[in-house]
Amino acid sequence: MQQLTYTGPNTLEWREALEPQLSSDAAALVRPRAVATCDLDTLIIAGASPFAPPFAIGHECVAEVLDVGDAVSSFAPGALVSVPFQISCGQCGPCREGRTSNCAGVPFMSTYGFGPAVEQWGGFLSDVVCVPYAEHMLVALPAGVQPATVASASDNIADAWRAVGPPLAERPGAGVLVIGGAGTGSIGLYAAGLAVALGAESVTYLDSDPRRREIAAALGAEALAQAPKRLGPFPITVDAGADPQLLALALQATAPDGLCTSVAIYFGEQPALPLLSMYTKGITFKTGRANARTDMPHVLELTASGAFHPELVTTRVVGWKDAADALVERDWTKLVIEH
């Protein structure tokens, strides 16, 4: 089979690889049908991530089941499924508590498409992928939802959900601020759209990029190019900017006893947080990797209901053979590659 391989900065090539086999009775083989870019992919492709080449790329997808092990009863060949980018067993303590990003049954940070265990799991821009814990990991695509629409449910949309879904469940109708811009900027847009769909009384999206502001407005948010002199306070804030100054702005705009969640990745040492202000206001600050498998059903159901429209974030769709060129061009906010 072929898999798209990151071989160096701005260089991708299709390489022949051994086709994976069922690793156990609990596994499934799937063929990716719609693969989406993650905001992290821009850094990987540019050579700005800590992950050394070569490795198979792609870690967001909807796939078609090709074969299943004898212990798999919920899925059959032909089924369309969303595949989480993180490998998790579903049986260990962290998985039972919903902390699937820290599954104790597999090596730490086991993921498709990047990371220290990528040689074992491969990437989604491959003809065939093995899913080792199919009953737990796979999530059926809701009827009527197109694969390209929710190709990012397995990472970026779920990542956005954790920043606004649980907080709005605790504070229904609360106002939300999203500061966007990290990488190609899709996670912040998804967070804004999800907050609107979940009934936030107001959703403010701040980003210097005009195209992303247009998308945020289409999703129902108030889109700002720059912060007013006084921003907030907001009970719920989201840092999706990956800029220390924007993170500080999000924290400063968080209301007393509010919650600020950072979905951005910061490489290297960063300036200190405004801890005195946070202490005085009693702010809760969260960061860390998403628990994708735990949150995927929420975003799939919200999309199927018609309340959330992730397809508005997609700015380019290409065919499988055009994947390498399109990825390097990076003229997209969200790229979807169809097979």
Residue 80: its pLDDT value, please? 98
174 by DSSP, 3-state: which? coil
166 Cβ contact list (under 8 Å, min separation 6): none
Residue 252: its pLDDT value, please? 95
Beta strands in the chain (DSSP E): 2-8, 11-16, 28-36, 55-56, 61-68, 80-83, 129-131, 139-140, 176-179, 203-206, 222-224, 234-239, 254-262, 284-286, 316-319, 335-338
* CA dist 25 → 70, 71, 196, 275, 286 (Å): 5, 5, 42, 50, 38
270, burial (CB in 10 Å: exposed 0-12, middle 13-18, buried 19+): exposed
Mean pLDDT of 76-91: 98
The domain segmentation of the chain, as residue ranges, is 2-155+290-338, 159-286
**What confidence category does residue 270 fall into, taking pLDDT thresholds of 50, 70 and 90?**
confident
**What confidence category does residue 272 fall into, taking pLDDT thresholds of 50, 70 and 90?**
confident
CA angle 108, 112, 113 (to 5 degrees): 115
230 Cβ contact list (under 8 Å, min separation 6): none
Separation CA 58–CA 242 (nearest Å) = 21
- Work out the widest C-alpha separation in the chain, in whole angstroms: 62
Separation CA 71–CA 85 (nearest Å) = 22
Separation CA 313–CA 299 (nearest Å) = 14
Superfamily of domain 159-286: NAD(P)-binding Rossmann-like Domain (3.40.50.720)
Residue 328: its pLDDT value, please? 95
Mean pLDDT of 174-200: 96
286-298 pLDDT per residue, tens: 999 999 999 999 9
End-to-end CA distance of the chain: 14
101-133 pLDDT per residue, tens: 999 999 999 999 999 999 999 999 999 999 999
164-183 pLDDT per residue, tens: 999 999 999 999 999 998 88
The amino acid at residue 184 is T
Residue 238: its pLDDT value, please? 98
> With 90 as the cut, is the pLDDT of residue 145 above it?
yes
303, burial (CB in 10 Å: exposed 0-12, middle 13-18, buried 19+): buried
**What is the dihedral sign for C-alpha 315, 33, 325, 265?**
positive
Nearest to 261 by CA among 185, 168, 123, 162: 162
Mean pLDDT of 83-99: 98
Separation CA 103–CA 88 (nearest Å) = 5
Question: Which fold is adopted by the domain 2-155+290-338?
Answer: Quinone Oxidoreductase; Chain A, domain 1 (3.90.180)
**What confidence category does residue 66 fall into, taking pLDDT thresholds of 50, 70 and 90?**
very high
**What confidence category does residue 263 fall into, taking pLDDT thresholds of 50, 70 and 90?**
very high
Residue written as token pair 């006893």:
257
**What confidence category does residue 140 fall into, taking pLDDT thresholds of 50, 70 and 90?**
very high
Residue 35: its pLDDT value, please? 98
